[in-house]
Amino acid sequence: MDVLAIITARGGSKGLHRKNVLPLGGKPLMAWTISAALQSTAISRTIVSTDDEELTEVAKSWGAEVPFMRPAELAMDDSGHVAVVEHAIHWLERHEKVCPEYVMLLQPTSPLRTAEDINSAVQLAKEHQAVAVVSVTRTKHHPHLSKQVLGDGTLVGFLPGDTTDLRRQALSPAYALNGAIYLISRESFLYHRTFFPPETFAYIMPAERSIDIDSSWDFHLAELILENAYESKAT
């Protein structure tokens, strides 16, 4: 399979200022994702889509390609990943005549995703001849145990038919998107304009590799996990 990795890293960030270049475990946040993609044996090429000159230099210094600068209108707070990946696909086709079989969206806010995770997601697509594979993790807060607070302060079920059984073991496992891996065939993506076409397969990841950094607390948790991993290797 010819798989193009597209790392999306814009300069602005509401939750955590300049988070893509903040130092985590001795290297910029986005470098963790670049390294995982470059170490993966399943990725044919790794590019970064960014609007920022500093991020461009960081990406290149860690081995990724930055063949174009992302247009400003695709680097706003409300810019969707579908439009950003579409732009990358069309740019490569127009300027380089490159049409990969699959594209993999890798967000730099998932630094603990590994090359092995990337390889396994691609292998899952191969085994099932899947048009798409998306990474998930088992959710800690089951949707049938979720509640909502009404205007008068009373507590009611969030979902129809929610349960009063508070034992999570009695509920079917529920999974949440963890933002680490979105793999899809180029043809399906351009046709459906979504990362979730019919019959998308799930690649299940453990919670400790599923942190999606959006706040200083998320960043702190990632630092603690990395510190613990280093200490475990040293002992």
92 vs 214: which has the higher pLDDT: 92
Residue 62: C-alpha distances to residues 39, 48, 68, 95, 220 (Å): 12, 11, 17, 24, 23
- How far, in Å, CA of 164 to CA of 167, rounded? 9
Q: What is the pLDDT of residue 228?
A: 86
Tokens for 231? 């200490």
Domains of the chain: 3-137+176-234 (3.90.550.10), 140-173 (no CATH)
pLDDT digits (tens, 9 = 90+) for 74-108: 988 778 999 999 999 999 999 999 999 999 999 99
- How far, in Å, CA of 200 to CA of 132, rounded? 5
Average pLDDT over residues 7-25: 86
17-31, 81-95, 135-149: least confident range? 135-149
The structure tokens 């993966």 sit at: 40
For the chain, how many residues are written? 235
* Three-state secondary structure string covering the chain: CCEEEEEECCCCCCCCCCHHHCEECCEEHHHHHHHHHHHCCCCCEEEEEECCHHHHHHHHHCCCECCCECCHHHCCCCCCHHHHHHHHHHHHHHHHCCCCCEEEEECCCCCCCCHHHHHHHHHHHHHHCCCEEEEEEECCCCHHHCEEECCCCCEEECCCCCCCCCCHHHCCCCEEEEEEEEEEEHHHHHHHCCCCCCCCEEEECCHHHCCCCCCHHHHHHHHHHHHHHHHHHHC
Q: What is the pLDDT of residue 15?
A: 66
Q: What is the pLDDT of residue 79?
A: 81
CB of 43 closer than 8 Å to CB of 104: yes
Q: What is the pLDDT of residue 74?
A: 92
- How far, in Å, CA of 49 to CA of 91, rounded? 11
143 band by pLDDT with thresholds 50, 70 and 90: confident
pLDDT digits (tens, 9 = 90+) for 158-200: 887 666 665 666 778 899 999 999 999 999 999 999 999 999 9
Contacts with 187 (C-beta within 8 Å, 6 or more apart), sequence order? none
